[in-house]
Amino acid sequence: MTPDPPVWMKERSNGLLSALPAEEQARIKDEFERGGALQHSLLRYTQALITQMSQTAMCNRHQLEMTQELIANMLGVRREGVTEAAGKLQAAGLITYSRGHITVLDRLGLEAHVRECYAVVKRGI
């Protein structure tokens, strides 16, 4: 069974995500495969993001302390989107979130709630 191809997303002006049209995804992929400036920039960005996530994980390995601003920066989204998502997860009883401290109350429930996104990451490991 072959995995589903990734769906590339973009943030709209209202903070929501929408899928890029297939033609646009193909153009970006073609340009990336040419090995020029776009590829170089995206690989540098990926390296920086992985470094930032690794450093954050190491620094917070005993207790998860992350501000909404840090989460937003790591995900490349607006802080307001993180606030809204954390509020929904907290209202569902999956996490508690207060002043940068995140506690997972129901891991299986959280995984079920974000199943598609979590599955993509888990398959990549």
Residue with the larger pLDDT of the pair 76 and 125: 76
- Which residues fall within 8 angstroms of residue 125, CB to CB, at 6 or more apart? none
Asked if residue 5 has pLDDT above 80, the reply is no
- Which residues fall within 8 angstroms of residue 31, CB to CB, at 6 or more apart? 38, 39
Please state the domain extents for the chain.
20-59, 62-125
Distance CA 23, CA 95 (A): 39
**Residue-wise pLDDT tens digits, 18-47:** 677 888 888 888 998 999 898 988 888 888
**Residue-wise pLDDT tens digits, 101-121:** 888 888 888 878 877 666 666
Residue with the larger pLDDT of the pair 43 and 66: 43
* Domain 62-125 sits in CATH 1.20.1300.10: no
